Amino acid sequence: MKKILRSPITLVVLFVVAAGMILAGTIGGVLAAPLILVDKNYFASMETSDIGVGLREGTASCEDGVLFKDILKEGDFKIGKTYEELLSVENTGDIRSYVRVTVYKYWTDENGKAVDLDPSLIDLHFVTGSGWTVDEEASTSERTVLYYASVLAPGEVTSPFADTLTINGKVVKLANEAGDLDYDQVTFHVQAVADAVQDHNGDAAMTSAWGRTNHAG
Amino acid sequence: MKKRHVLLAVLAAVMVLSIGVGSAVAYFTASAEAEGAIPIKLKTTTTIEEPDLFRWIKHLVITNDEKSEPVFVRAKGFSGSAYPLTYSGEGWTEGEDGWYEYEEILPAGGSTKELLVGIGNIPEDAVEGQSFNVTVVYESTPVQYDSDGTAFADWSLTLDTGSSEGGR
């Protein structure tokens, strides 16, 4: 045994084996597809896990990434009126996953972000207590982070994390009193980002991806 | 020499094992994004027009600019106690603190019907140099809505004001 270990040939062989294993691990995936196409006698079906997440507005998926479709159908937007805005998250993949949502609210004018206008005047009403909890530490007047407590099965939809949208009428006065700025027109924005992680090893996966779990205080 | 070989062998084994470590700490994640944006106009510009005084009655019309938001308007006259004012006009009703409010929403480019402000106690034997002045002020406020979508005027949010003077 000692002779074998001392032999330079053993050393070379070990490195060749190690390099071979590394290469095999890398090349394997690349070769898999061509093998199926080239040799009809030898094929293997491989089931891959696909994680997916999507946002829903009302009963429709937001596949185009656009919100407020129903509100805009009602004609001119009315400041102060409470519009229904049901937002939820769906599992579009084929594995179970945990989800969270980060919602951003802000104003813009013709020059870009209107920082003088308070984002809290964009009153998107968040629904908590039905599975969703707000991460208060990570939330600001502009950003709200919500975690869904339950694991989401493939095809399953969460309860709504928001249900109504109202623009506070104070924006009219504030927009005209914001220092030297004089807003003729402003635009309010709501952006929602849904994140999903695998439920297998869920706590570790959430901590790795989000820095916390969905049940942290 | 022996130690070196062992170390190299261990190093080779670690390299091989490290292939699997990468996949062990990687997790499946996904994300999706959606955004909505709606512009709202905040500017209101209104003007008051007054034809010549006729039979001691002021005829006032308030117009909302073409590029303005819909507004509510109200007007009020000042003349001093010697010359009491009377108000009339289709669509105008008495509100708080002596203001007369136009009931309908004034859309962009829209005008009120005439507000008639009559000036009383005009001396028939006025003499040269005797004068008085009547001023009518008006305010506009953007139309606001309650949660049900019912329109209302919030006069604490008055943005645009103006006046019209007249007398002799």
User: Domains of chain B (ranges plus CATH)?
Assistant: 46-124+132-167 (2.60.40)
Read off the pLDDT of residues A130-176 as tens digits, 9 standing for 90 and up. 899 999 999 999 999 999 999 999 999 999 999 999 999 888 777 66
> What are the residues whose beta carbons fall under 8 Å from the beta carbon of A113, sequence distance 6 or more?
A106, A107
Q: Which residues of B touch A16 (CB under 8 A)?
A: none
- Give the nearest partner residue to B42 out of A65, A166, A172, using CB atoms: A172
Find residues 3-42 of chain B whose CB sits inside 8 Å of chain A: 5-6, 8-9, 12-13, 15-16, 19, 25, 27-42
Tokens of A152: 């989401």
Query: In the prediction, which pLDDT does A29 show?
Result: 46
Question: Least CA distance to A95: which residue of chain B?
Answer: B28
Contact assignment for B2 to A185 by CB distance below 8 Å: no
Tokens of B13: 């084994």
Contact assignment for B35 to A201 by CB distance below 8 Å: no
Rounded-to-integer distance, Cα A132 and Cα A126, Å: 9
Query: Which range, of A41-50, A105-114, B3-12, B44-53, averages the lowest pLDDT?
Result: A41-50
Rounded-to-integer distance, Cα B50 and Cα A137, Å: 59
Tokens of A217: 């205080």
Read off the pLDDT of residues B9-32 as tens digits, 9 standing for 90 and up. 788 777 766 665 544 568 999 999
Contact assignment for B16 to A55 by CB distance below 8 Å: no
Contact assignment for B13 to A67 by CB distance below 8 Å: no
Rounded-to-integer distance, Cα A62 and Cα B36, Å: 11
- Give the nearest partner residue to B147 out of A2, A54, A81, using CB atoms: A81
Find residues 58-87 of chain B whose CB sits inside 8 Å of chain A: none
Q: Which residues of B touch A11 (CB under 8 A)?
A: 5, 8-9
Rounded-to-integer distance, Cα A136 and Cα A131, Å: 16
Contact assignment for B27 to A80 by CB distance below 8 Å: no
Read off the pLDDT of residues A83-133 as tens digits, 9 standing for 90 and up. 999 999 999 999 999 999 999 999 998 889 988 889 999 999 999 988 999
Can you tell me the ipTM of this complex? 0.77
Rounded-to-integer distance, Cα B120 and Cα B83, Å: 5
- Dihedral sign computed on CA atoms, order B69, B74, B77, B78: negative
- Give the nearest partner residue to B42 out of A10, A68, A185, using CB atoms: A185
Q: Is the pLDDT of residue A217 over 70?
A: no
Residue A5 has φ and ψ, to the nearest 5°, of: -65, -35
Distances (CA, A) of A148 to A102, A133, B20: 11, 7, 31
Read off the pLDDT of residues B102-151 as tens digits, 9 standing for 90 and up. 999 998 899 999 998 888 877 676 666 666 778 889 988 888 888 888 99
